[in-house]
Amino acid sequence: MYRNRIIHFCVFIIIVAISFNNEYNPFIMNDTQMFSNSVAHVSKQEDKLYKEIQAKSDTFSIAPQDATIDKVWKKTPGRNGVKVNVKKSYQQMKKDGIFDKTLLVYDQVSPEVSLADLPPSPIYRGHPEKQMTAFLINVSWGTEYIPTMLNVLKEKNVKATFFIEGKWAKENSEFVEMIDEQGHVIGNHAYNHPDMAHLSNQEMTEQVKQTNEIIKAITGKTPKWFAPPSGSFNNQVVKIADNMNMQTILWTVDTIDWKNPTVSVMVNRVNSKLHPGAMVLMHPTAATAEGLGSLITTVKEKGYKIGTVDKLLSEER
State the pTM of this model.
0.82
Q: Which pLDDT belongs to residue 27?
A: 45
Radius of gyration in angstroms for the set of CA atoms belonging to the chain, rounded to a whole number = 33
CA dist 119 and 222 (Å) reads 21
Q: Which pLDDT belongs to residue 280?
A: 98
Paired with 187 in beta bridges are 163
CATH 3.20.20.370 domain locations along the chain: 120-312
Give me the CATH code for the 120-312 domain, please: 3.20.20.370
DSSP notation for 201-246? HHHHHHHHHHHHHHHHHHHS----EE--GGG---HHHHHHHHHTT-
Nearest to 308 by CA among 215, 223, 186: 186
Give whole-number Cα distances, 134 to 8, 130, 277, in Å. 95, 11, 8
* Other residues' Cβ atoms within 10 Å of the Cβ of residue 121: 19
Cα 274–Cα 80–Cα 138 angle in degrees, nearest 5: 40
Nearest to 206 by CA among 234, 166, 174, 168: 166
Q: Which pLDDT belongs to residue 47?
A: 86
User: Buried b / exposed e across 293-305, counting CB within 10 Å, b at 16+?
Assistant: bebbebbeeeebe
CA dist 263 and 32 (Å) reads 76
| Side chain identity, residue 252 | T
User: Buried b / exposed e across 228-266, counting CB within 10 Å, b at 16+?
Assistant: bbebebeebbbebbbeeebbbbbbbbbbebeeebebeeb
Q: Output the CA torsion 114→254→270→179 (10° steps).
A: 70
Q: Which pLDDT belongs to residue 45?
A: 56
For the chain, strand residue ranges (E) read 68-70, 74-76, 81-84, 106-109, 132-139, 161-164, 185-188, 225-226, 247-248, 253-254, 279-282, 305-307
Q: Which pLDDT belongs to residue 36?
A: 47
Cα 201–Cα 192–Cα 256 angle in degrees, nearest 5: 110
3-class DSSP state for residue 21? coil
Q: Which pLDDT belongs to residue 30?
A: 53
Q: Which pLDDT belongs to residue 46?
A: 64
User: What are the helix and strand counts (H, E) for the chain?
Assistant: 11, 12
Paired with 248 in beta bridges are 226
CA dist 47 and 23 (Å) reads 31
Q: Average pLDDT per run of 10 along the chain, which is 317 residues long?
A: 50 48 49 45 68 96 97 97 97 95 97 96 98 98 97 98 98 98 98 98 98 98 98 98 98 96 96 97 97 97 97 96
